[in-house]
Structure 1
Amino acid sequence: MNQLKRIQAIYKRVSCRAFQDKQVPQHILKEIITAGTRAPASGNMQPWEFLIIDDLDMKDKLCSCTFSGFYSKGAKNQSWVKKAPIIIVPCVNYKRTVARYGDLAYKWAVIDTASAVQNMLLAATELGIGSCWVGGIIEDKVRKLLQLPSYVEPLGLIPMGYPAEKTEQKHKIDPKWLTHHNIYNAPYFD
């Protein structure tokens, strides 16, 4: 019986929170961003924008826009973020998708941009770059700091760099507990 060949980047990807003091070459960063732009998008509107932050002062200010934990309300920053050589801020540009889909754009543009981020995380893994998608941000502070127009929304931060330590992938739920056959709670996998 033939074994199914696994897509290695999917199974090797982990959230990296410690980075070497080594810059990510521009050609590698461009490949990662390009992978993001290959994501599917509703009506091919491609609502994503990517801000690349490498200035030390800007990284420090961006870090002050983070919080740890859902209920901390900004009390604690995720200080490790500023130690990454690069921070990518993925943003949704609603203007493009609204032109075609009206109010549905506020749902689809986020999904499309999230797909682009996933492509970027997998491309980074394939290229030996560590990354982590950080959602704990104070959006209004990020928006003001980066001078984003009203129709552009930040979707977190992606600190990136060469990993400083080996990180193991955390346990993931077995698909048999998450899949249903024709109706809810009818098992598909044994």
Structure 2
Amino acid sequence: MNSKSNYAIPAIFERVSKRKFTEQPIAPEILEQLLLAATRAPSSGNMQPWEFIVIDEPATKLEIVRSTYSGYFSKGKNYQYWIADAAVVIVACTNVKRTVARYGPAGKEWALIDSAAAVQNLLLTATALGLSGCWVGGINEQAIKTTLQIPDYVRIIGLVPIGYSVEDASPKSRLPLKWVTHHNAYNVPFYD
């Protein structure tokens, strides 16, 4: 199976991070589909730790942009202004208390993983519905938490700007399966 058309879920193979958007708004029912898809992700003990702050106010989007950076070494100097052009910016959060209440301290990590699965669902659904987005991790979490009045027990796992894209981008290459798979033990090839 070499062609992505042979796969049951084309959105998985078509999804590309895009950073240039039209001014077209997202209909409320489409936005609801994205958020509902996110909440269908698997989670440890079904604790569903994800929470989403949907930002569509231009001033709030710009304030969030001022809490971004382009990489560790930029020291916050290179704001990612393109984010403000998206129809909405979804601040993906993890309510750590939910999972920790059931699993103790280990639940902190599991809650983050569970919320990451929700973001993946959101991005794949966006692709399937003709929208585009990007998972942005280069943020000053504390600054955004202050701006949006997010409590201490809630972690931000990223920003997800979503909109209709003007970019024509192809999926980036991925490592071959033989480099990332193992058979019954680590470093035992599954594929030759």
* Range class of TM-score, shorter chain: over 0.9
TM-score (norm 1): 0.96
Q: Secondary structure at the match of 1:156?
A: strand
The code of the aligned residue for 2:63 comes to K
Residue 29 of structure 2 is aligned to residue 44 of structure 1: no
Shift of 1:21: 0.7
2:183 alignment counterpart: 181
Question: SS of 2:94's equivalent?
Answer: strand
Q: Aligned partners of 2:109 and 2:50: how far apart in 1?
A: 13
Does 2:120 align with 1:112? no
Q: 1:136 aligns to what?
A: 138
2:129 & 2:72 partners in 1: Cα distance?
31
Q: Residues of 2 paired with 1:137 and 1:58: CA distance?
A: 15
Query: Which digits, 9 at most, give the CA deviation of each residue in 1:39-65, with x for residues without a partner?
Result: 001111100000000000000000000
Letter in 2 for 1:125: T
Q: Which amino acid aligns with 1:89?
A: V
Partner in structure 2 of residue 87 of structure 1: 89
Q: Which amino acid aligns with 2:101?
A: A
Structure 2 letter corresponding to 1:164: V
Q: Which AA in structure 1 matches 2:14?
A: K
Letter in 1 for 2:16: V
Aligned to 1:34: 36
- Give identity over the alignment, percent: 49
Aligned residues: 189
Match of 2:167 in 1: 165
Quick one: distance in 1 between partners of 2:27 and 2:72? 34
* Map of 1:127 onto structure 2: 129
The one-letter amino acid paired with 1:119 is N
* From 145, 148, 151, the counterpart of 1:146: 148
Q: Tell me how far apart the structure 2 counterparts of residues 115 and 39 of structure 1 sit (CA, whole Å).
A: 6
Which AA in structure 1 matches 2:181? T
Counterpart of 1:150 in structure 2: which amino acid? D
In the alignment, the residues of structure 1 paired with residue 44 and residue 31 of structure 2 have an alpha-carbon distance, to the nearest angstrom, of 25
- Unaligned stretches of 5+ in structure 2? none
Name the amino acid aligned to 1:161.
G
Q: CA deviation at 1:183?
A: 2.2
Counterpart code for 1:144: T
Deviation of 1:6 after TM superposition, in Å, equals: 4.0
Q: Cα distance, 1:177 vs. partner?
A: 0.7
Q: In structure 2, what is the Cα distance between the partners aligned to 1:32 and 1:83?
A: 19
Q: Identify the residue that residue 57 of structure 1 maps to in structure 2.
A: 59
Deviation at 1:70, TM superposition (A): 2.1
For 2:140 and 2:166, the matched residues in 1 are separated by 27
SS at match of 2:120: helix
Tell me the distance in 1 between the aligned counterparts of 2:19 and 2:106.
Answer: 35
CA distance in 1 between partners of 2:98 and 2:183 (Å) = 37
After TM superposition, where is structure 1 displaced by more than 4 Å over at least 4 residues in a row? none
